[in-house]
Amino acid sequence: MQKVKSFLKSWEFFLILLLVAMCVVFKITDASRIAAGLQKKPIFYFANVVRSMRPYFLYSFMTLGMMLILAMGDIDISVGAIGTLSVVTLGVTYNRLAGSAEGGSPMALVAALAACLLVGALCGALNGFLVTRFKELFPMIITLATQLFFRGFSYLIIGGDTLTFKDPTFKSLSNLNQLLKFGDLQVPISIPIYLVLAVVFYFWLHRTGNGRKIFAIGTNASATYYSGVRVDKIKFWCFVIAGFMSAVTGIFFVGNSSSSVKADIMDGYHMYAIAAAVLGGFSTDGGKGSVIGATISLVIFGVVKFGLGTLFGFPDSAVNLSVGVILILSVLGPNLVEDIQNRRKVAQRRAETARLNAAKA
Amino acid sequence: MQDKKERKPIYSILIEHREIPLLAVLALLLILVSIRVPGYLAKSWLNVLKNGSINMVMCCGMLCVLLIGSIDISITAILAFAGAVAGKLMGLGVIQNTFLMFLLGIAIGAAIGAINGVLMSYGRVISLIVTLSTSYIVRAFIPMDWLLGMNKVNPTQLTQGFKDSLINHSFLGLPFLVWLAILVVVVTGVFLKYTRTGRNLYAVGSNAEAAQMRGVPINRIRVLAHTICGATAGLAGIMWLAFYAAIEKGSALGDEMFTIAACVLGGVAVTGGYGKISGVVIGALMIAFIDSAIPQMGIGNSMITEFIKGILLLVAILLNVILQRIAEKQDLARRNI
């Protein structure tokens, strides 16, 4: 009973309610549009929504990395730039290794992918090193500087050019965006991969001591340090993982962008990652949030974008607007509820003391 | 021994005036560029000032926000929105007066900034999240059908007087664009240094609880700081419109990072409570200078400026910390601890 009660009060439950409410609204709109003769077939049904999730799950891996960092109470705004730099590395390395080989060479692609992931992890390591060594500075400022640095580095490597790859080996990366068939259901490949990773992250973050330490750091870093946790080491590795995850996102991104690489390919993507993680219950104060919440919030963003975009025919801008509104309300709402609760408590206390005083007199 | 005590160690001077190392770096860069491109400074100083003045105006607002320990990343969204609304109104013939345009821009910016401030102070939402959301929301309005749609504000939609107002009128050899930036800098500087409210910004930033105990209305100060920041961003939007004679939905996208970078370069502490207008001016000049000088030096490809800006910011903030640490060590050593 206690468990059910605490679940009903949890943030994840609220997110599920939000998701259900949205689905109902979209479903009704869908039905009414059919009734009005605006469209012939229903658009908003499960299989179609799942199939259309592909572009919205691109940055899900980045969100996983961002989760770790937000749980520690830090923030990393360089993840988009890290993704760009690792993708640029991927392109340049492949170009150098494959040369003019006919049809491209698979070995070169493997080496380039390895280099890409390595660069992502190294960029994360630089962030982690700076954050742990220069504690006087906010992680936000450090990652702002490294963001400019990484972005500049990718511009330094390929300038304003666009690298386009025509050979079939490199094109095989776009297989990452194909749809898997489970019976009637067509699922983008990124979703099962994300789910596997999310399960791993869930057990690590919520079920092992090592993962709980990350939340402990976010709640009170110095207390955690004095209870014998190597805070710096954990922080460092979390930043490395975040960098690695952005490189993974980058690989999916190349597959999506018709195998071309530009130096501003993933600019601004950190914002999507932060938005999804914050709606999922993580906070820049640290110590809060869960993998389940983040996963639901990714789905919510996907459904909102799909529903508003294809059902209502709103342009991208309206979709962005709704993302902004959801984000603000998701943080503002709990704060307001807390305020009201506090005020009620104070009023109760006051009434009680007044009664007691009256009884004394 | 006696002698030593009276002399201030060089580190502490450097710490007290964080803009000195910055000036040194700026001078070094200038010398390097002048060797490489003879007569650079004589040719392009006016261009540097012109291109830097819009960022300079936004830096003044950003300084106020950073002083209270907050941050605003919606400024470029406000810039684009204010510029788009004002440009659209001028295109429709509603506003023909140049002065009114500037007032309108400031009003729009201040209103959005005030919303940011209220959400951040009374709503207790972290400023990064608030301004991230408002930048999404505000920028989303620009491509709506009732505003610009998929188009942009074209030079033909603007009156000649408005287009001339900042560039073609000059006073003492400087165009009005630069004078406007100087005006904003001076007003912000005086406000922060000599008025009670301005000092309260520092108080809120260095210790909000202590400030509240002293009777400073911290929430109102926070709203004020964000309002100022929004107003400067709105003003910057109109300046952008007058300078480039065009604005679209993607104008200045992502440039807020350079505004923050200029402030950080100028020694403003992001934790709040520390920062001077002089440092910010030098920081903004430095960014503008790099933008103009590096492409002329002919090293690497045209995009190398991005790289140099990144390295410079990284080195500057790390150097600041290292200097501070050395100074603390020296202090301890002098007291024989």
A94: domain CATH number?
1.10.3470
Structure confidence by residue, pLDDT tens digits, B186-210: 999 999 889 888 888 888 888 888 8
Across the range A239-260, mean pLDDT stands at: 83
Identify the band that residue B2 occupies on the pLDDT scale cut at 50, 70 and 90: very low
Residue A303 and residue A23 in contact, taking contact as beta carbons nearer than 8 Å:
yes
DSSP 8-state symbol, A257: T
Report chain A residues whose CB lies below 8 A from the CB of B71. 140
Tokens 């009414």 sit on residue: A32
Name A24's bridge partners: none
Structure confidence by residue, pLDDT tens digits, B110-127: 999 999 999 888 888 888
Q: What is the number of domains present in chain B?
A: 1
Domain that holds residue B120: 2-334
Report chain A residues whose CB lies below 8 A from the CB of B270. 137-138, 140-141
Rounded to an integer, what distance in angstroms lies between the CA atom of residue A44 and that of residue A38?
A: 14
Segment of A101-105, A183-187, B227-231 carrying the highest mean pLDDT: B227-231
Across the range A79-94, mean pLDDT stands at: 87
Rounded to an integer, what distance in angstroms lies between the CA atom of residue B89 and that of residue B104?
A: 10
Between strands A179-182 and A185-188, the pairing is antiparallel
Of the listed ranges A153-167, A189-203, A294-308, B227-241, the one predicted with least confidence? A153-167
Identify the band that residue B265 occupies on the pLDDT scale cut at 50, 70 and 90: confident
A133 Cα to chain B: minimum distance (Å): 10
Q: What percent of chain B has a predicted confidence (pLDDT) above 90?
A: 11
Identify the band that residue A111 occupies on the pLDDT scale cut at 50, 70 and 90: confident
> What is the helix (H) or strand (E) element at residue B74, kind and residue range?
none
B149 Cα to chain A: minimum distance (Å): 10
Q: Is the dihedral of CA B247, B252, B256, B258 positive or negative?
A: negative
Give the pLDDT score at B6: 54
Across the range A274-290, mean pLDDT stands at: 83
Does the structure show a pLDDT above 70 at B318?
Answer: yes
Which residues neighbour B90 within 8 Å (Cβ) at sequence distance 6 or greater? B96, B101, B157, B158, B159, B162
In terms of phi and psi (left: phi > 0; alpha: psi -120 to 50; beta: otherwise), the region of A290 is beta
Decide if A324 and B314 are in contact by the 8 Å CB cutoff: no
Name A187's bridge partners: A180
Across the range A172-197, mean pLDDT stands at: 78
Rounded to an integer, what distance in angstroms lies between the CA atom of residue B46 and that of residue B48?
A: 5
Name A185's bridge partners: A182
A1 Cα to chain B: minimum distance (Å): 33
Q: Is A24 inside any structural domain?
A: no
Q: What percent of chain B has a predicted confidence (pLDDT) above 70?
A: 89
Decide if A263 and B303 are in contact by the 8 Å CB cutoff: yes
Residue A172 and residue A189 in contact, taking contact as beta carbons nearer than 8 Å:
no
Burial class (CB in 10 A: 0-12, 13-18, 19+), B220: middle
Give the pLDDT score at A345: 92
Q: What percent of chain A has a predicted confidence (pLDDT) above 90?
A: 11
Rounded to an integer, what distance in angstroms lies between the CA atom of residue A182 and that of residue B109?
A: 51
Q: Is A60 inside any structural domain?
A: yes
Query: Which of A145, A283, A321 comes nearest B310 by C-beta?
Result: A145
Give the pLDDT score at B229: 92
Give the pLDDT score at A101: 63
Decide if A320 and B139 are in contact by the 8 Å CB cutoff: yes
Report chain A residues whose CB lies below 8 A from the CB of B129. 274, 278, 284, 327-328, 331
Does the structure show a pLDDT above 50 at B1?
Answer: no
Report chain A residues whose CB lies below 8 A from the CB of B309. 148, 152
B107: domain CATH number?
1.10.3470.10
* Higher per-residue confidence, A36 vs B7: A36
Identify the band that residue B266 occupies on the pLDDT scale cut at 50, 70 and 90: confident
Structure confidence by residue, pLDDT tens digits, B26-82: 788 788 878 877 777 777 778 788 888 888 999 999 999 988 888 888 898 899 888
Decide if B129 and A151 are in contact by the 8 Å CB cutoff: no
A103 Cα to chain B: minimum distance (Å): 30
B256 Cα to chain A: minimum distance (Å): 11
Which of A158, A159, A162, A193 has the alpha carbon at shortest distance from A175?
A193
Which A residues 135-174 touch B at CB under 8 Å? 136-138, 140-142, 144-153, 155-156, 159-160
Decide if B321 and A274 are in contact by the 8 Å CB cutoff: no
Q: Is A18 inside any structural domain?
A: no
Helices (H), chain B: 2-6, 10-16, 19-36, 40-67, 75-92, 98-121, 127-141, 160-167, 176-194, 196-206, 208-213, 218-244, 256-265, 277-297, 304-334
B128 Cα to chain A: minimum distance (Å): 9
Rounded to an integer, what distance in angstroms lies between the CA atom of residue A20 and that of residue A303?
A: 10
Residue A243 and residue A267 in contact, taking contact as beta carbons nearer than 8 Å:
no
Q: Is A264 inside any structural domain?
A: yes
Residue A104 and residue A96 in contact, taking contact as beta carbons nearer than 8 Å:
no
Q: Is the dihedral of CA B176, B178, B179, B184 positive or negative?
A: positive
Question: Does A308 contact B at CB distance below 8 Å?
Answer: no
Which string of DSSP letters, residue by residue, matches A28-70? Answer: HHHHHHHHTTS-SS---SHHHHHHTTGGGGTTHHHHHHHHHHH
Give the pLDDT score at B35: 81
Distance from the Cα of residue B256 to its chain's centroid: 8
Report chain B residues whose CB lies below 8 A from the CB of A268. 253-254
Rounded to an integer, what distance in angstroms lies between the CA atom of residue B193 and that of residue B187?
A: 10
Query: Which of A160, A267, A323 comes nearest B136 by C-beta?
Result: A323
Closest alpha carbon within chain B to A322: B137
Does the structure show a pLDDT above 70 at B300?
Answer: no
Token pair listed for A14 = 């609220």
Burial class (CB in 10 A: 0-12, 13-18, 19+), A205: buried
Report chain B residues whose CB lies below 8 A from the CB of A75. 128
Q: Is A184 inside any structural domain?
A: yes
Report chain B residues whose CB lies below 8 A from the CB of A74. none
Decide if B134 and A274 are in contact by the 8 Å CB cutoff: no
Does the structure show a pLDDT above 60 at A288?
Answer: yes
Domain that holds residue A181: 43-331
Q: What is the number of domains present in chain A?
A: 1
Closest alpha carbon within chain B to A142: B314
